[in-house]
Structures are given as C-alpha cells and as structure tokens.
Amino acid sequence: MEPQSLIGQRVDVLDKGWVELVDMMPHPATGVSGDRAIVNAARVSFMGESKGDDADKKLLFYLLRNAHTSPFEMVEFKFRVRAPLITWWQWVRHRTFHFQSVNAQSGRYTPFEEDDFYVPSVWRKQAKSNKQASEGELEDEVNEAFLQQLTAHYEQSHKLYSEALENGVSKEMARLFLPGFSVYYTWVIKVDAHNLMGWLKLRLASDAQYEIRVYADAIYEHFFKPALPWTAEAFDSYILHPQS
C-alpha cells in the first residue's frame, strides 16, 4: 500500500478497538519516502543526498545494524487509538511515546456508551512460572460462564452510571460506577520511528500481554511496514529476529 493511502486508514483491534494513522512525517505529499528521509538525515553530515536505491538501502541497514539511531527520529507517526484501559496501562509505561503531547478522551466531558467495555473472547489462566503473565485458557464451560458474568457486570455498572447521570451526578463522579480497567478510551499519540521500533520490539514479543500485543501487531503490519519497507526489513533482521 502506498504511504499516501495509509493516512486515514483504520484497522480494527480486539472487539471494539482500532488504530488509525492520522498523519506522518515526511508527509507523502512531499514525494520523499520515510526511508529516504532517514538516509538523507544520515548524509547531511557530509552534505550528501540520495545515491540511488541500492546505496541508500545499504546505508540504512548499516545505520540500524550499528545502532546509529538518530536519523530514524526524522520520521514520525501520529496515531488515533481506541483501546481499553488495561492496554493503556501497558502503553504509558513507555517514555518513548510523546505523552507530553497526547490528547485523550475524557469521561468528564463525554459520557460513556453502553458498549464501551472490553469483552475478551477467552479467559486466560495465570502462568505458573511468571507472576505477571498468562498462559493457556479456561475450559469452554467455565470460560462461557465467566463471560456471561462479565457481561452482566457491565450491564449493571452502566445502569448505575446512567441513573447517576439522570439524577444530576456529575460525569466526573458518575464514572466511579464503571469497571475502570475495561473501559475503552480514545487517544491521539505521536512517536518517531526510532522509538516506535523500541516499543515494537517489546510489545511484539510472545510474552507481552495479549491486549497490547495485538495493537503492536496492527501498527507494525498495517502502518510501519508499508510506510518504511527498508527500515522494517532491517528491523526484522537485526532487532526482531537477529541471526545468532
């Protein structure tokens, strides 16, 4: 897919979430690809420009292989993301994203809709050897029973929330009735290619929590790889799947 058509594209994630590319730098309208912008930034020290695809790609691979990362900060992505709070708690731990310029949906201004809760497809079991991870799934019968209980819990919580609003309780307090970890929020967030790769390395890993791994996979497959094919190839070779 051409970078120009990536802007405005939205990819569904989880049951009600999504990732949308709002903008990127360099903008496709400039005619300069992100990969080329990285190479041009590296060559500015020598007042140089493109030397053709083969030489440029070779230089880009050299930069990433040898951890010369500053040129990769010349490319930026701006995303709009809708995700449940349990995903955002994982996301905001990364200082690499520009959280100082993030904008998020506020429950003080916007009421939550009845279906603004994350419903997992299965319940995962607690991992025996990792205190913060999960592994395997509950048996079908038990899984279905807990899903029904969760749905009933959401319905009752939203009923109390709605009744509080109808009786004049402020939105900022009525949301105390809502099950916080499962509520979906929408954020606008910005990150450069260098720091995005650091985040992807961690959140694409098999031991990353599922609810954030699927967002990392969506960003990597639908936006990062099409926008930066050379960088993605080098990233896969030297960072995601380095040769022993």
- Residues acting as catalytic residues: 203
- Residue 78, φ and ψ in degrees, nearest 5: -120, 120
Q: Which two tokens stand for residue 2?
A: 């051409």
Q: Which two tokens stand for residue 1?
A: 């897919």
Rounded CA-CA distance 121/136 in Å is 13
Contact between 27 and 48 (Cβ < 8 Å): no
Rounded CA-CA distance 157/163 in Å is 10
Radius of gyration over alpha carbons of the chain, in Å? Answer: 21
Please name the helix (run of DSSP H) or strand (run of DSSP E) that holds residue 6, with its range, or none.
helix 3-6
Residue from 8, 150, 13, 168 nearest 83 by CA: 13
Q: Which two tokens stand for residue 159?
A: 């009923």
Rounded CA-CA distance 84/57 in Å is 38
Amino acid identity for residue 132 in this structure:
Q
Contacts of 227 (CB under 8 A, 6+ apart): 3, 6, 24, 34, 75, 77
